[in-house]
Amino acid sequence: MDLSQLYPLMTDTALEPWLEILPRQVEAGLSNDSYGKLAEWQAALAQLPDIQAGNMDFNADIVSIGGEPGLDKKEKARLEEILKKLMPWRKGPYRVHGVYIDTEWRSDFKWQRLKDAIQPLAGRRVLDVGCGNGYHSWRMLGAGAELVIGIDPSPLFVMQFQAIKHFTGPQPVFVLPLGIEAMPDSLRAFDTVFSMGVLYHRRSPMDHLYQLKQCLKQGGELVLETLVIKGDEHAVLMPEDRYAQMRNVWFIPSSRAMMLWLRRAGFKNIRLIDETYTGVQEQRATDWMRFHSLENFLDADDMSRTIEGYDAPLRAIFIAEAP
């Protein structure tokens, strides 16, 4: 992974201390020893055609890269074939030189729910924790962020991001193969930190909140999205095993409990800006993600329940200010 464009953007900023460990972290996060299929994905990336990007739109529901002249039918089919070697594509959608990547998630729905409620991103340094393949990171850039760093420990998603970036050319957006636990202590460097779809995967949600706080400058904004349940500030669900077939789901608080957790972690000016049930228009199997999806995770006789008998997925978005 070539990070030569990132390093100068970190030098002489509050991000500089991270540079001491970052190269080693990136190397470990993409080590062939740890991830058997990495070589296959890298080979797919190497097959991507070099096409000069023309029009690019990071500020629309479909993150798009186009160019003139467009690809002919055969070239388009070949590009689709290469991109499909990186399946499953979960977050999107994207359109790359006429190839529409119809991802499992319409991630634009989530962006629509939060984009007008957050501090404008223009000129801000942004961290997108658990960014997946970086769909929202592109949208943050489209909203004017000066620098976006996404982190995600899944190398496939990092490869998908690289595939998209291959076509955009240099842009101040990066996805690094790291988990939140790799962030240096007390960095306090970002103007906005997003943690979306991550908290319920953490065994210790309070530690997660403290880690997010350590990434934010004083007065910086946290945008946190997570699964919630209905209930008062003492209501928290810990599933016995899976939740909507997802492994590694630990704590699902009510929105009021989540706000209490944010207060206890020291955040100020905490607001709940949205609660929405996930629908089958937002998360579904497609030609680019052929495994089971939400429809199969809900009780066929009662779509308000998961197949394990819990309430169906309800997601909430919170905004808070770092002290």
Give the residues lining the site for ligand SAM (CB under 6 A): 91, 107, 110, 129-132, 151-154, 157, 179-181, 196-198, 201
**Is the link from the previous residue into 170 a cis peptide, with omega within 30 of 0?**
no
Among residues 71 and 310, whose Cβ is nearest to ligand SAM?
A: 310
Among residues 130 and 205, whose Cβ is nearest to ligand SAM?
A: 130
Return the closest-CA partner of residue 174 out of 143, 141, 198, 196.
141
Among residues 79 and 104, whose Cβ is nearest to ligand SAM?
A: 104
Q: In the bound complex, what is the minimum distance in angstroms from residue 154's beta carbon to ligand SAM?
A: 4
CA dist., res. 178 & res. 154, Å (int): 8
Q: In the bound complex, what is the minimum distance in angstroms from residue 152's beta carbon to ligand SAM?
A: 5
- The contacts of residue 54 (CB under 8 Å, 6+ apart) are 66, 67, 68
Q: In the bound complex, what is the minimum distance in angstroms from residue 68's beta carbon to ligand SAM?
A: 32
CA atoms within 13 A on the CB side of 84: 14
Return left, alpha or beta for 13; rule: phi > 0 is left, psi -120 to 50 is alpha, else beta. beta
Token pair of 231 as six digits: 């209930």
Q: In the bound complex, what is the minimum distance in angstroms from residue 137's beta carbon to ligand SAM?
A: 9
User: Which residues lie across from 236 on neighbouring strands?
Assistant: 253
Among residues 71 and 89, whose Cβ is nearest to ligand SAM?
A: 89
Q: In the bound complex, what is the minimum distance in angstroms from residue 198's beta carbon to ligand SAM?
A: 5
Among residues 92 and 220, whose Cβ is nearest to ligand SAM?
A: 92
What is 259-281 written as a DSSP string?
HHHHHHTT-EEEEEEEEEE--TT
Q: In the bound complex, what is the minimum distance in angstroms from residue 52's beta carbon to ligand SAM?
A: 30
Return the closest-CA partner of residue 135 out of 225, 61, 223.
61
Token pair of 69 as six digits: 């002249």
Among residues 180 and 215, whose Cβ is nearest to ligand SAM?
A: 180
